Chains A and B, each alone.
Chain A
Amino acid sequence: MFGMLKKLSAPRSLLFLLAGLAVLSLLGWLGWKVNQLRQPVDPTAEPILFEYCGADLVDFCVLSFGRDGDGNTIVNLFVPEKKFSAFYLNVIKATGESRFECDKSEDEPTSVYCIGGPVNLNERIEIRLLSKRGDQTLARGRFTITAFLISAPVSESQPTETGTPEAGITVIETPTSGIIFQGQAGSGVSSPADKNEPTPTPSVTPTVSASYPNYP
């Protein structure tokens, strides 16, 4: 017994043991993940209650409300990865129901936006998340939309350029694919040589603010 322990505690055996354990853990984790994904949604399960997102994004929640050009309502959602399969929203208002189709960001699958009929300000609504397969209600939450358009917050910690250029547009086009090779210092920026048209000179020279700021 002691001999075996001694053999196992030899550095080479220990190394193999650790490597084996690491591989087994990885396989176990993958197996658990696959099993989790295969589990069918329980049709009798109570729908999850959701609300506005807090500071930490963990559970399914509403990030923001907005509008598109046709007056439709946009709901921006945080959806934990692989939490729900294909779904749509059913928005229930006092005047009736409206179906919202959802689309997710390819680069950030947890970011999902849904678009549907108009919702008035201060109107109380119930949002239901339904699976496309079987129309089963997976989650629901009640909201009152108090504002659609909130101006972008302006932080005081970062100085903004105070000049008001007359019309300082420079045509520096980025190609539809690939990269800008005319950049400077490898930083994805434009350089004067890239202009396609002459740049109007700003009427007021903007104050210089350093790029790459420190912590606010």
Chain B
Amino acid sequence: MALQDHAMAVACIVLMVFWGGWVSYKILAAIFKDRFTGVEYLSLASSAWLFPVFFWAFLVVLCAALLGWNAAKALATILILASVWFLFQGRPDVLFSFDSMLLAAFLVASLGWSLAFLQKALLPSYFDSAWHYSIIKQIQGGQVPLTGEYYHLGYHLVSAALASYFIVPVTDVMLVLGQVTLAILPLTFFFPIRFLTRSNSAAFFVVLLAGLGFHMPSHLVDWGKYPALLSLVSIQFVLNILLLVREKEFRRQAAWLAGLGMWLSFFMHTRSIIFFTSFLGAWLIASAWNQFSSLPRYGTPGALLLTLAAELFNANQSAVLQPLLTGYLRSDLWILGLVLSLAVLAFKVYPRSFFLLLCFLALLLLGMLIPVNLPAYGPLTLLDRPYVQGLIYIPLSLIGGLGHAGLIQELCRFFPDWKRLPAFLGLLLWGFVLLNANLHHEFHPSPCCQLANRDDMAAYAWMDKNLPPHARVLIASSGLNVTSFETSDARTGVDGGIWLTPLIARRTVLAWQALDFDQSKTHPQLCRQGVDYLYVGSMPQSFDSARLDLQQKLYQPVFSLPLAKVYRVTGCN
């Protein structure tokens, strides 16, 4: 699809994100005054844009549920217009500096390569997206799903408000909001590294590293993990603000803001609370470690490395957890090598911060291995593998940034006369990350997870017109395996069939993807269960259409395109 087809959604969402960032900047500047430079405020505001947007969306959806969408849209407009007066108060000149312009230029470039994803995206990827789409549509319809088993409501409220207010298709909002979030996220890394190291070069390096260095977080959109992606924004905000808790002058304000950020993260993705618990745990351990005398002080990181190795070994033994390792080793090997090399200097120059991040990494991996049994959900682990995979680029990037700053410091110590060394080094490392991105980074939707294609779209349109509203359609499914403890009964759709209910409101019945249609028992069972049609998509795990074609008396093909087929189940009477 041409990029211009998303132009309206892009313009509206970028506008709202900028509005959110601007409002956040004004609030943060009112609290912290001259404590930060313009570029630091820009980075902080990049991690805080979600607050105003979320509160705006919350009020709009609430108003829509109580008074209808017309009143809600009026309220939405009033809220934005009322904020404009506030936005133009005070002095915006603090934002205008060479560094902030450089960071803004990065944002423009980042938007460019993130939006390239849209060029080849038809529907949001993977089965999660179909689920999110349904919830957003339901909120648009005036219902708020508040059952015990549902969470991550924040993302859906924001998407529903944006889609309804700007009259943009929900699929567009999902795709564009995801990509715009991805484009802004790297900017949020500038603040912590600048704050900890006072090095602009290292701070810009970590922005690039977080944006293009790893296959995460951009691969999250291939999994339709939009709530997790949006939670990363508030997670980054909390991490940034927690740095200020150490400053007496701003301790109280920072604690309040961090608490608010945690609440927002929880609303976006419940498991982010485990992330914060791990981070606070790592913080406490690192604080204690800082008090150690020399022997345990150097022995503990060794023990921590051994723990990390044991965790990784354990993960590698499990077929479900293994993709975490293969994901990083296959896509990000060169960058991992760079980060590991820089880690030595990070430890030398910033031992406490490095130890904290290492400890945090170990706790995150541990969260993936600790079982919990919740009555409503069955056996789970504290963190699931995809979420951990999406999170660990954060400590890795920060270690890379600290290492970069450490490298500059060490080299400047040895070569004090080389004034241009930081800039030269910065360019060298940026070049490395850019080269690696050019060779290994995926800018388009991954074929692993695009369940629906254009033949599927034609099939949906045909089915919508020709299938009775109460038709039951059998679709292929497989087990859901994201932790080591799931029961084999949890399953999910594996191809375009997953979109039948969200898009055309037809009932679907899940069956194992390897269902043997040659078996004599299969057809009577389908009849007993009232299955009217079978849907065969184009994924490797879709039903085998060749088998079905051999039994046309029982399964009559009624719609056949190369990559999407519909069969009618006949002979049931």
List residues of A whose CB falls within 8 A of some B CB: 10-12, 14-15, 26, 29, 56-58, 63-69, 74, 76, 78, 80-81, 103-108, 110-113, 115, 148-155, 157-158, 160-192, 197, 199-200, 202, 205-216
- Note all chain B residues with C-beta closer than 8 A to A67: 557, 560
When each residue 343-384 of chain B gets 1 if its CB lies under 8 Å from chain A and 0 otherwise, what string results? 000000000000000000000000000000000011010001
- Note all chain A residues with C-beta closer than 8 A to B132: 188
* Known contacts A165-B514, A165-B516: A187-B492 contact under CB 8 Å: yes
**Closest beta carbon of chain B to A150's beta carbon, Å:** 4
- Note all chain A residues with C-beta closer than 8 A to B465: 103
Further contacts, 14 of them, CB under 8 A, given A63-B455, A169-B512, A192-B490:
A11-B91, A29-B7, A107-B503, A152-B536, A167-B521, A170-B491, A184-B149, A184-B378, A186-B131, A188-B127, A205-B488, A211-B480, A213-B448, A214-B448
**CB pairs A–B below 8 angstroms (17 shown):** A11-B93, A63-B455, A150-B562, A151-B545, A152-B545, A160-B514, A167-B516, A173-B509, A179-B138, A185-B480, A188-B134, A197-B529, A205-B488, A209-B479, A212-B126, A215-B446, A216-B447
- Note all chain A residues with C-beta closer than 8 A to B568: 69
**Closest beta carbon of chain A to B470's beta carbon, Å:** 7
* Known contacts A158-B541, A190-B492: A170-B2 contact under CB 8 Å: no
> In the bound complex, do residue B490 and residue A190 qualify as a contact, i.e. CB atoms below 8 Å apart?
yes
- Note all chain B residues with C-beta closer than 8 A to A68: 462, 558-560
* Known contacts A66-B560, A202-B512: A105-B541 contact under CB 8 Å: no
B27 in contact (CB, < 8 A): no
> In the bound complex, do residue A110 and residue B5 qualify as a contact, i.e. CB atoms below 8 Å apart?
yes
B66 in contact (CB, < 8 A): no
- Note all chain A residues with C-beta closer than 8 A to B541: 158, 160-161
A212 to B324 Cα, complex, angstroms? 10
> In the bound complex, do residue A149 and residue B448 qualify as a contact, i.e. CB atoms below 8 Å apart?
no
Interfacial residues of chain B within 147-177, with CB under 8 A of chain A in the complex: 147, 149-152, 169, 171
- Note all chain B residues with C-beta closer than 8 A to A173: 472, 507-509
A178 to B95 Cα, complex, angstroms? 45
> In the bound complex, do residue B5 and residue A81 qualify as a contact, i.e. CB atoms below 8 Å apart?
yes
Q: Specify which of B319, B493, B508, B536 is in contact with A210 (CB 8 Å cutoff).
A: B319
> In the bound complex, do residue B478 and residue A209 qualify as a contact, i.e. CB atoms below 8 Å apart?
yes
A56 to B116 Cα, complex, angstroms? 13
A216 to B490 Cα, complex, angstroms? 24
Closest 10 CB pairs of A and B: A188-B131, A168-B512, A69-B558, A66-B561, A11-B93, A111-B457, A189-B492, A113-B458, A192-B489, A174-B501
- Note all chain A residues with C-beta closer than 8 A to B442: 215
A166 to B536 Cα, complex, angstroms? 19
Chain B interface: which size bin?
A: 35 or more
Chain B binding surface, main DSSP class: mixed
**Closest beta carbon of chain A to B240's beta carbon, Å:** 24
> In the bound complex, do residue A210 and residue B482 qualify as a contact, i.e. CB atoms below 8 Å apart?
yes
A108 to B458 Cα, complex, angstroms? 9
- Note all chain A residues with C-beta closer than 8 A to B152: 186
> In the bound complex, do residue B540 and residue A154 qualify as a contact, i.e. CB atoms below 8 Å apart?
yes
> In the bound complex, do residue A69 and residue B478 qualify as a contact, i.e. CB atoms below 8 Å apart?
no
B314 in contact (CB, < 8 A): no
> In the bound complex, do residue B506 and residue A167 qualify as a contact, i.e. CB atoms below 8 Å apart?
no
B135 in contact (CB, < 8 A): yes
> In the bound complex, do residue B512 and residue A165 qualify as a contact, i.e. CB atoms below 8 Å apart?
yes
> In the bound complex, do residue B145 and residue A179 qualify as a contact, i.e. CB atoms below 8 Å apart?
yes
> In the bound complex, do residue A113 and residue B322 qualify as a contact, i.e. CB atoms below 8 Å apart?
no
- Note all chain B residues with C-beta closer than 8 A to A205: 488
When each residue 506-529 of chain B gets 1 if its CB lies under 8 Å from chain A and 0 otherwise, what string results? 111111111110010110011001
A130 to B279 Cα, complex, angstroms? 63
> In the bound complex, do residue A76 and residue B458 qualify as a contact, i.e. CB atoms below 8 Å apart?
yes
B37 in contact (CB, < 8 A): no
> In the bound complex, do residue A113 and residue B507 qualify as a contact, i.e. CB atoms below 8 Å apart?
no
> In the bound complex, do residue A216 and residue B448 qualify as a contact, i.e. CB atoms below 8 Å apart?
yes
Interfacial residues of chain B within 302-329, with CB under 8 A of chain A in the complex: 319-323, 326-327
> In the bound complex, do residue B150 and residue A211 qualify as a contact, i.e. CB atoms below 8 Å apart?
no
> In the bound complex, do residue B138 and residue A183 qualify as a contact, i.e. CB atoms below 8 Å apart?
no
A149 to B549 Cα, complex, angstroms? 10
- Note all chain B residues with C-beta closer than 8 A to A164: 514, 516
> In the bound complex, do residue B515 and residue A169 qualify as a contact, i.e. CB atoms below 8 Å apart?
yes
B99 in contact (CB, < 8 A): no
A80 to B545 Cα, complex, angstroms? 31
> In the bound complex, do residue B480 and residue A107 qualify as a contact, i.e. CB atoms below 8 Å apart?
no
- Note all chain B residues with C-beta closer than 8 A to A192: 378, 487, 489-490
- Note all chain B residues with C-beta closer than 8 A to A161: 478-479, 512-514, 541
> In the bound complex, do residue A167 and residue B126 qualify as a contact, i.e. CB atoms below 8 Å apart?
no
A26 to B525 Cα, complex, angstroms? 58
A153 to B538 Cα, complex, angstroms? 7
**Closest beta carbon of chain B to A167's beta carbon, Å:** 5
Most buried by B among A150, A164, A212: A212
B273 in contact (CB, < 8 A): no
A202 to B522 Cα, complex, angstroms? 12
Most buried by A among B128, B447, B503, B540: B540
Interfacial residues of chain B within 514-573, with CB under 8 A of chain A in the complex: 514-516, 519, 521-522, 525-526, 529, 531, 536-542, 545-546, 549, 556-563, 568
> In the bound complex, do residue B96 and residue A169 qualify as a contact, i.e. CB atoms below 8 Å apart?
no
**Closest beta carbon of chain B to A50's beta carbon, Å:** 15
- Note all chain A residues with C-beta closer than 8 A to B490: 184, 189-192
When each residue 452-467 of chain B gets 1 if its CB lies under 8 Å from chain A and 0 otherwise, what string results? 0011011011101100
**Closest beta carbon of chain B to A100's beta carbon, Å:** 13
A57 to B134 Cα, complex, angstroms? 28
**Closest beta carbon of chain B to A177's beta carbon, Å:** 5
> In the bound complex, do residue B509 and residue A169 qualify as a contact, i.e. CB atoms below 8 Å apart?
yes
* Known contacts A64-B455, A186-B227: A210-B5 contact under CB 8 Å: no
Interfacial residues of chain B within 379-403, with CB under 8 A of chain A in the complex: 380, 384-386, 389
> In the bound complex, do residue A188 and residue B478 qualify as a contact, i.e. CB atoms below 8 Å apart?
no
**Closest beta carbon of chain A to B374's beta carbon, Å:** 10
- Note all chain A residues with C-beta closer than 8 A to B326: 214
